[in-house]
Structure 1
């Protein structure tokens, strides 16, 4: 199998310059960059807040996993609020455009879970609180399936793995890309029209355009079976966008309620798949509640 990579050195350099510029512009306050070796490649992490151990009373970190095509910088508006309560680790997922460098293929959810387990082991955490957006939510759920009891909680923001990626979702992606390329005065109206507030994140949209020379080779999330969902243990909060283009949020909420009665499910009125930018205050509040801050 192939692995994700930039098509050439020029594409890599162009992205790196945009990445460093965006990091400097968006990241709130001090951070520690960590390049963690794993079997699937070097993983870039950014740690903020008190270090795990005596200085923070042994509080386990919140580990943030981005959605498809994204990286740690998508969490820029959340880091400061979360780091007041716990150490925060934002991850550049291996195989996505970012500062991580993939060296071995990730073929399925088992491989994705193995990569994430190596990341958590490298962080020396025994019970991290995972927060996953979209594709990152699928990775977090896959990790809990293959490594039960390893994490303290899951907060899943409109996670993938509950419906196939159909025409509606791809139309949403294309419409969002076109809206992001429109003149800036038009973007708020277009964002409302296409249901994608991410297009208003000017710096992140610039970084996305800089990643056009990146060839992403990661598995398309399969739909979790009923048997797999019944096997999930531990605390989990599902936040679903009422207007999500990824799936029917009400149907997904009903399925989770039947198969995972211990999980908490909230369908966020008026929100779409871009929950992190649609309603950041609500999402931050729910994350802090889930991790016991």
Structure 2
């Protein structure tokens, strides 16, 4: 049972990460020095609140292998008009702790539902990047209308995860453990702007000691996508490593005609770090209308 639960490889690896992560949270993320534990049947998630005192909250869901601090470009900007809650989800390398396997899409949704319920956040705007985008969309399909809106940033689920993505991930991983000048030079070659982010990259080698045990994001059918009725914004990197951007945008235009879909020029799956100003502006404008 234990080998199906996400965790660091040992106490030393966990403690080294925790020390660096707490420092990064306090330095970068509004509310990062005031963690809010949330008990669920899958373990303990952790939330960080900031932003406006009133309004519909925004919940920020990181990508696979990510955590709340990956939203540091966004939390302050989005918090000007909304309460913001950045999550360390259970099963990812952050401050959360997993105690029970999460082996299916249903488990992913149930874990998120328990987390949101524990925070009193039903009816929030869900904003997710990559795996977090898939998670938000899966949540809406299983609990229609429970979210106020969806913002999906180069999300999973619009096709099977193929070799192109794994090569992109491997190339970024190898570049990420290179000396700083080298990885910054390689960022353009491997289409990963995260390699130039000197705030996030020091955490990268520490997260490599985390054994992630969450299910892959299964693809959505046309019927499922057509069933989404809440306001939705979908931002896709022009050079996305997950899928051909133009093909996905065309499909979404057919099956989700009410969704706002935009291809961001020059971006790959690194979209949130590649174009933070554009993404923040699009989210802010979208939520003002939603």
Per-residue CA deviation, residues 51-76 of structure 1 (Å, 9 max, x unaligned), is 4xxxx2xx111100000000000001
Matched residue, 2:213: 217
Matched residue, 1:114: 110
> What is the Cα-based RMSD across aligned positions, in Å?
1.6
Q: Is the 8 A contact 1:47 1:90 kept in 2?
A: yes
Evaluate the alpha carbon distance shift between residue 22 and residue 284 of structure 1 in structure 2; reply closer, same or farther with a 3 A threshold.
Answer: same
Matched residue, 2:12: 10
CA drift at 1:29: 6.6
SS at match of 2:35: strand
| Residue 61, structure 1, aligned to residue 44, structure 2 | no
Matched residue, 1:273: 269
Per-residue CA deviation, residues 121-154 of structure 1 (Å, 9 max, x unaligned), is 1222331000000000010001001000101110
Matched residue, 1:79: 75
SS at match of 2:92: coil
TM-score by length of 2: 0.94
Deviates more, 1:280-289 or 1:117-126: 117-126
Q: Is the 8 A contact 1:144 1:233 kept in 2?
A: no
What runs of 5+ residues in structure 2 fail to find an aligned partner? none
Residues 1-293 of structure 1 mapped to structure 2, 5 A cutoff = 2-28=4-30, 32-51=34-53, 56=54, 59-292=55-288
- C-alpha separation in 2, matches of 1:184 and 1:15: 19
Q: Is the 8 A contact 2:57 2:125 kept in 1?
A: yes
CA drift at 1:30: 7.0
- C-alpha separation in 2, matches of 1:231 and 1:157: 19
Per-residue CA deviation, residues 204-246 of structure 1 (Å, 9 max, x unaligned), is 2221211222111000111111221122221101000000111
Evaluate the alpha carbon distance shift between residue 157 and residue 116 of structure 1 in structure 2; reply closer, same or farther with a 3 A threshold.
Answer: same
- C-alpha separation in 1, matches of 2:122 and 2:47: 17
Q: Is the 8 A contact 2:183 2:196 kept in 1?
A: yes
- C-alpha separation in 2, matches of 1:287 and 1:143: 19
Q: Is the 8 A contact 2:30 2:50 kept in 1?
A: no
Q: Is the 8 A contact 1:158 1:241 kept in 2?
A: yes
CA drift at 1:176: 1.1
Number of residue pairs aligned between Structure 1 and Structure 2: 287
Q: Is the 8 A contact 2:88 2:94 kept in 1?
A: yes
What runs of 5+ residues in structure 1 fail to find an aligned partner? none
Q: Is the 8 A contact 2:30 2:49 kept in 1?
A: no
CA drift at 1:184: 2.4
